[in-house]
Amino acid sequence: VSVAQDRLIEKTLLAETGIPVAEFYSIESLQDLHDLAKHETLPFIIKTRRFGYDGKGQALFKETHQAAHIWSALGEVPMIAEKIVRFSRELSLIAVRNLSGEVVFYPLCENRHENGILAQTRSCSEPALQKVAEEYACKILDRYNYVGVLTIEFFDCEGKLLVNEIAPRVHNSGHWTIEASVTSQFENHIRAILNLPLGSTDIYSEFIMYNLVSCMPSMMEMLSIRNTHVHDYNKTQSPRRKLGHVTLCPVTADSKNRLEKLLTE
Amino acid sequence: VSVAQDRLIEKTLLAETGIPVAEFYSIESLQDLHDLAKHETLPFIIKTRRFGYDGKGQALFKETHQAAHIWSALGEVPMIAEKIVRFSRELSLIAVRNLSGEVVFYPLCENRHENGILAQTRSCSEPALQKVAEEYACKILDRYNYVGVLTIEFFDCEGKLLVNEIAPRVHNSGHWTIEASVTSQFENHIRAILNLPLGSTDIYSEFIMYNLVSCMPSMMEMLSIRNTHVHDYNKTQSPRRKLGHVTLCPVTADSKNRLEKLLTE
């Protein structure tokens, strides 16, 4: 956990383990930002090393003159500068390892973000990428003798996978496993830490999971759409806050259209 | 509920609603049992009118001389005598009706009993019987303006359905809906009583649900079999007590064989 809580340590150890990641630099001072702009080609994404999520603690460093503002806005704390990579999509791999070392993987899924927050996760079938993603995941799991669910976010750069982030836990981009998989990420996490045999990660059907951000649509309307599975976290509405999610499974064109219309109203 | 709690009232009202049931008689005294043996052809099954479940409060009346023993063994309370019908199997229909009158049905499933206790429920596809069962269910739901999940147990008598029992609640023979259906019987019951739109009753896959009766097999061994979904009710072991259930979904020949071997050990 301490590794994944510090973006710089995480990226350094991934690179050492032979996992491809985007080019990155440690930023310890305003001078480091100036040096970065001098020696490298902007833009870079600047992130605080700790306590960032949902796009918080991040800034885009496009022009040299932004250095002082970014240093101050992110709190003058240790940061990491990551080279912006061109990617066609973000993929997640949910991996599970139990105490005995048994390992299972869910099928890769595709994430879509809006304003830095995960908006959708949908099924995709990518046998070639799946194989590569699982190889990288095995290296990470073995390296840390990891037990439980681990989520790895990849950038798909024209068929080449770069690891963006690892999350040592059940993950928002795996919530679809509750309905779409034979065994959910939550059940497999419990099985893993109790050293029970891991459950099948096969999926029953294609799916799309939609996060409910900022405001909750009408429960009545969501449930009137066939094959919706609504999860209301019962939180107070607030801008950019994840209040719940809806998984559509199985996916039908009619349900997808109606639900996406409702969610953009 | 009061109707379904009294077997005689239940059977009388079903018959009045035009639903086929096995021939039945009210038994109010030992003399009634003697008269039954005199005027009808035994065997009959004798059941207390109230508080019977899992084969309790029942006796098989095969020979005239058993009358006094049965009258005493069942507690000298009001009873119902039901003609034994020859049936090839028992089927359950889980029906749901919400406050607005919207109605959905799960696919018919087949029940297997051992020693009077439900042992297995498995998927079956019977479009012709499904149609008839749903017609009977509609009559019952409408007659009582019923809201929530209602379970109807049928005898399949060479393709003719007789209603054996109605249970005004979520039912053991519907526990497979948790994993095998798009919407579980529990979620649909809550939707029904909150007057929300009912969820799809489509199934993802074939299934078999096994009750765990009298003793719990090893959790480790059950979970090592692919596609098992284990539910442990965390009850004290006791003969003839339902301690949990396992749903196999999807069903594979290998998992079925291994699980059935484990459960008969």
Convert the pLDDT of each residue in A55-88 to its tens digit: 678 999 999 999 999 999 999 999 999 999 999 9
Q: Beta-strand (E) ranges in chain A?
A: 24-27, 44-48, 58-61, 79-83, 89-97, 103-105, 109-114, 117-123, 148-157, 160-167, 208-213, 228-232, 242-248
- Residues B137 and B130: their CA atoms lie apart, in Å, by 10
- Residues A237 and A251: their CA atoms lie apart, in Å, by 28
Query: Prior bond to B250 cis, omega within 30?
Result: yes
Determine whether the interchain pair A200/B226 forms a contact, defined as Cβ–Cβ distance below 8 Å.
yes
The label of the residue with tokens 């798009």 reads B182
Determine whether the interchain pair B227/A196 forms a contact, defined as Cβ–Cβ distance below 8 Å.
no
Give me the mean pLDDT over the A7-19 stretch: 91
- Give the pLDDT confidence score for residue B54 in this predicted structure: 63
Per-residue tokens: A202:
């096969």
With a cut of 90, say whether residue A52 has pLDDT above it. Answer: no
Q: What whole-number percentage of chain A has pLDDT above 70?
A: 97
- Give the pLDDT confidence score for residue A4 in this predicted structure: 67
**Lowest-confidence range among A167-181, B44-58, B229-243?**
B44-58
- Give the pLDDT confidence score for residue B56 in this predicted structure: 74
- Identify the band that residue A2 occupies on the pLDDT scale cut at 50, 70 and 90: low
In sequence order, the 6+-apart residues with CB closer than 8 A to the CB of A203 are A106, A107, A123, A180, A181, A182
Q: Can you list the alpha helix ranges (DSSP code H) found in chain B?
A: 2-5, 7-16, 30-39, 67-73, 127-143, 177-180, 185-193, 219-223, 253-263
- Residues B133 and B105: their CA atoms lie apart, in Å, by 10
pLDDT tens by residue, B64-87:
999 999 999 999 999 999 999 999
- Give the pLDDT confidence score for residue A1 in this predicted structure: 62
With a cut of 80, say whether residue B26 has pLDDT above it. Answer: yes
- Identify the band that residue B51 occupies on the pLDDT scale cut at 50, 70 and 90: confident
The label of the residue with tokens 């765990």 reads B212
Determine whether the interchain pair A205/B204 forms a contact, defined as Cβ–Cβ distance below 8 Å.
yes
With a cut of 70, say whether residue B52 has pLDDT above it. Answer: no
DSSP secondary structure letter of residue B204: S
Angle at A80 between CA A74 and CA A82, to 5 degrees: 115
**Closest approach of chain B CAs to the CA of A137, in angstroms?**
23
A68 CB burial (10 A radius; 0-12, 13-18, 19+): exposed
- Residues A177 and A205: their CA atoms lie apart, in Å, by 11
Residues of chain B with Cβ-Cβ distance to A223 below 8 Å are 191, 196-197, 199
- Residues A62 and A83: their CA atoms lie apart, in Å, by 11
Give me the mean pLDDT over the B162-174 stretch: 94
Residues of chain A with Cβ-Cβ distance to B220 below 8 Å are 196-197
Element at A32 (helix H, strand E): helix A30-39
Residues of chain A with Cβ-Cβ distance to B182 below 8 Å are 179, 227, 249-250
- Identify the band that residue B5 occupies on the pLDDT scale cut at 50, 70 and 90: confident
**Closest approach of chain B CAs to the CA of A210, in angstroms?**
17
Query: How many Cβ atoms are within 10 Å of B171's Cβ, its own excluded?
Result: 20
**Closest approach of chain A CAs to the CA of B222, in angstroms?**
9
Supply the pTM of this predicted model: 0.90
DSSP secondary structure letter of residue A181: B
- Give the pLDDT confidence score for residue B174 in this predicted structure: 98
Residue to substitute from B100, B104, B182, B203, interface A, most A β-carbons within 10 A: B182
Residue of A nearest to B218 (CA): A196
With a cut of 80, say whether residue B116 has pLDDT above it. Answer: yes
In this structure, which amino acid lies at residue A226? R
Mark which residues 173-232 of A lie under 8 Å from B by CB. 179, 182, 191, 196-197, 199-200, 202, 204-205, 219-220, 223-224, 226-227
**Lowest-confidence range among A136-145, A212-221, B43-52, B217-226?**
B43-52
DSSP secondary structure letter of residue A200: P
* Whether B146 contacts B140, CB under 8 Å: yes
Determine whether the interchain pair A182/B250 forms a contact, defined as Cβ–Cβ distance below 8 Å.
yes
Residues of chain B with Cβ-Cβ distance to A202 below 8 Å are 250
- Give the pLDDT confidence score for residue A134 in this predicted structure: 98
Determine whether the interchain pair B227/A200 forms a contact, defined as Cβ–Cβ distance below 8 Å.
yes
pLDDT tens by residue, A25-51:
999 999 999 999 999 999 999 999 987
Determine whether the interchain pair B204/A204 forms a contact, defined as Cβ–Cβ distance below 8 Å.
yes
- Give the pLDDT confidence score for residue A51 in this predicted structure: 73
**Closest approach of chain A CAs to the CA of B197, in angstroms?**
5
Task: Give me the residue from B196, B200, B223 closest to A220, CB to CB.
Answer: B196
Give me the mean pLDDT over the B128-155 stretch: 96
Per-residue tokens: B226:
């692919």
Determine whether the interchain pair B191/A249 forms a contact, defined as Cβ–Cβ distance below 8 Å.
no
Average pLDDT of chain B is 94
Query: Prior bond to B107 cis, omega within 30?
Result: no
C-alpha closest to that of B175 among B211, B200, B146, B204: B211
In this structure, which amino acid lies at residue B104? V
Residue to substitute from A104, A182, A196, A229, interface B, most B β-carbons within 10 A: A182
- Give the pLDDT confidence score for residue A116 in this predicted structure: 85
Provide the β-strand partners of residue B255: none
Average pLDDT of chain A is 94
| Half-sphere exposure of residue B111: CA atoms within 13 angstroms, side-chain side | 24
Task: Give me the residue from B182, B197, B219 closest to A224, CB to CB.
Answer: B197
Query: How many Cβ atoms are within 10 Å of B217's Cβ, its own excluded?
Result: 18
